Structure 1
Amino acid sequence: MKILITGATGLIGRNFIRRFHQYHYVALSRRPEAARKLLGSSVELIQSLDELTNLDGFDAVINLAGEPIVGKRWSRSQKRLIADSRFTTTLKLVQLFEQSSQPPATFISGSAIGIYGINAAGLHETSPVTADDFAANLCKEWEQIAQQAAELTRVVALRTGIVLSTQGGALQKMLPAFRLGAGGKLGSGEQMMSWIHIEDMCAAINFLLHNETITGAVNMVAPNSVTNAQFTELLAKELHRLAIIPAPAFALKLALGEAASLLLGSQKIEPRVLESAGFEYRYATLSSALENLISEKE
């Protein structure tokens, strides 16, 4: 299988390539030297989608490109960067599908559970999407652009939750403080967190590559959401540390502004499509996920 992949050097992309190394990858990277070190010599690299006139010869496209949404204040310029990094690449891919005489059979494109809003409870793929905040509107437009290719290929939107890994993402950022015993809940700690182990994330993408009956939105989360307080308690327990230094909501809002909503908002999201299709999670509970990740790091 020949796959064009964007965002290949990100947490999900590089882990997917390492795990499913049997595929022939063509990866988009504006920094080929750095990408070569991360991805290895077997991955073919291109620096721009303009190097392609069509997608003939590819079996699938996995689109994971996008400026990280967490970690910086959402200034007007940062919001534009976050949006453009997603929309421009996705629109170019749609155009390449349109220019193909034999387009790839599958187009798996990124999105996030942020589409459901910052106070989402028990929502699934067919739930109405009515939220009107920045993250929700970002995801809605991102999915709508990808969906323009639906007459030419099978489009799947990865509505991704918090991806747990010690190699990047939220957990990696949290570990130093928790190892020092300086970790704690965020705000009230009552907000729900919908998460997925990096191994299950990659396995689910591969599952979607080969399951031709699945189209549209897919919630990329484990079936057991937890509160932030529960997450804090389990992580501290796994590290044999106390977690008694909370991060007050006002402090997070002061530091991150509007972007603090990603940390303080509550999202309990159900992965109905994956479960109905028979996907088997290796790490369905947070305790099993953290035990694996922390023991692996130790």
Structure 2
Amino acid sequence: MKLFLTGCTGFIGRELIPLLISEGHKLTIISRQSEKKIKMTVNSSEIKVIQMNPADSSSWNNEELQSSLQSCEGVINLAGEPIAEKRWTDEHCKEITNSRLETTKNLIQNLRNLKKSPKVLINASAIGFYGSHSQTEFTEEDIPGDDYLANLCQEWETIAKNKPRATRLLIIRIGIVLAKDGGALGKMLPIFKAGLGGPIGDGKQWMSWIHRTDICNLINESIKNSSFSGVINGVAPNPVRMNEFASLLGKVLGRPSLLAVPGPILKLILGDGARVVLEGQNVQSKKFKKLRFKFIFPTINEALKSILN
């Protein structure tokens, strides 16, 4: 299948793109990175790279891009600045918002202008849709929360729903993605390997996570299986408390995990962005049971052993 990809050259894309190539798909990759940089990590004749900023509407007036859109059969949109890596200054919040909303607006507008619509659009969202709560268990049937991330996710999903009528839409509310070369785990590993790791905050907050291989397999399966539509929570079936996660991570690494990272210190580093890891959410998916999707790594113990051994 000919696929059109935005936001797929980051942390998830490092595993997703090779998987899609191995499945026989031909890819057009829209990225702010250069073709040379992308092909250093993925050397394949089955990819075409168009360097541009997809959040800039004027950059879509490109003959090569429009030709790729006209012939594409599926679209994957994972565009978005990382949420919990910097302080939430006004400027950074604008980057977080625009990288998602403006990119998706431009994508949808261009898809609606096509003579022939793609068969499927897979659009990212996040479990931040539900807001944070220490006790409530959230599923796809729950209403959105009422904070910055919840409002952002709600608007992001609303834009995606304006896709062409003939295009099947799957919105994946992605949890904390685990792999050792980036994301939350990538930042924790050096600290834990030095024996200085431990739970963040009080350790009681929930982590709703997914192994990167499983989220990539979910996206891959969604391309070819029309049963995958609507909204699905991209999380493993067994969320854990932060203190359990820290304990297991220390155990797998053979290091102590006793030194908690105080919430005020994290707030000093990340500002409001610290809420993402300090408050947490217990998110489950009812959809996975109906779809009979098989996780390779359903438990945190299996996931960490796979990643670190």
TM-score by length of 1: 0.95
2:57 is aligned to none
- The answer to whether residue 71 in structure 2 is matched with residue 53 in structure 1 is no
2:30 is aligned to 28
1:209-239 alpha-carbon deviations (Å, 9 max, x no partner) = 1221332211000000000000000000000
Which residue of the other structure, out of 49, 59, 73, is the alignment partner of 2:87? Answer: 73
- The answer to whether residue 141 in structure 2 is matched with residue 126 in structure 1 is yes
Partners of 1:155 and 1:16 lie apart in 2 by 19
Shift of 1:38: 2.4
Partners of 1:124 and 1:188 lie apart in 2 by 25
Give the counterpart letter for 1:4 in structure 2. Answer: F
Shift of 1:138: 1.1
Runs (4+) of structure 1 exceeding 6 A deviation are none
CA contact (8 A) 1:61 1:108 kept: yes
Partners of 2:274 and 2:73 lie apart in 1 by 39
The alignment partner of 1:259 has SS state of helix
Give the counterpart letter for 1:40 in structure 2. Answer: N
Greater shift in the superposed pair: 258-267 or 205-214: 205-214
1:285 is aligned to 299
Give the counterpart letter for 2:66 in structure 1. Answer: T
1:23-62 alpha-carbon deviations (Å, 9 max, x no partner) = 1000001222222212324210112343233732111000
CA contact (8 A) 1:6 1:62 kept: yes
Aligned-pair identity (%): 39
Q: CA RMSD in A?
A: 1.3
Residues 1-298 of structure 1 mapped to structure 2, 5 A cutoff: 1-21=1-21, 22-32=24-34, 33-42=36-45, 43-48=47-52, 49-51=60-62, 52-53=65-66, 55-119=69-133, 121-129=136-144, 131-149=145-163, 151-295=165-309
The alignment partner of 2:71 has SS state of coil
Partners of 1:119 and 1:273 lie apart in 2 by 22
CA contact (8 A) 2:77 2:124 kept: yes
CA contact (8 A) 1:53 1:99 kept: no
> Which residues of structure 1 form unaligned runs of 5+?
none
Partners of 2:172 and 2:42 lie apart in 1 by 22
Count, aligned residues: 294
1:154-173 alpha-carbon deviations (Å, 9 max, x no partner) = 11111000000012111111
TM-score by length of 2: 0.92
> Which residues of structure 2 form unaligned runs of 5+?
53-59
The alignment partner of 2:70 has SS state of coil
Partners of 1:150 and 1:195 lie apart in 2 by 31
Give the counterpart letter for 2:143 in structure 1. Answer: P
The alignment partner of 2:238 has SS state of coil
Shift of 1:150: 5.1
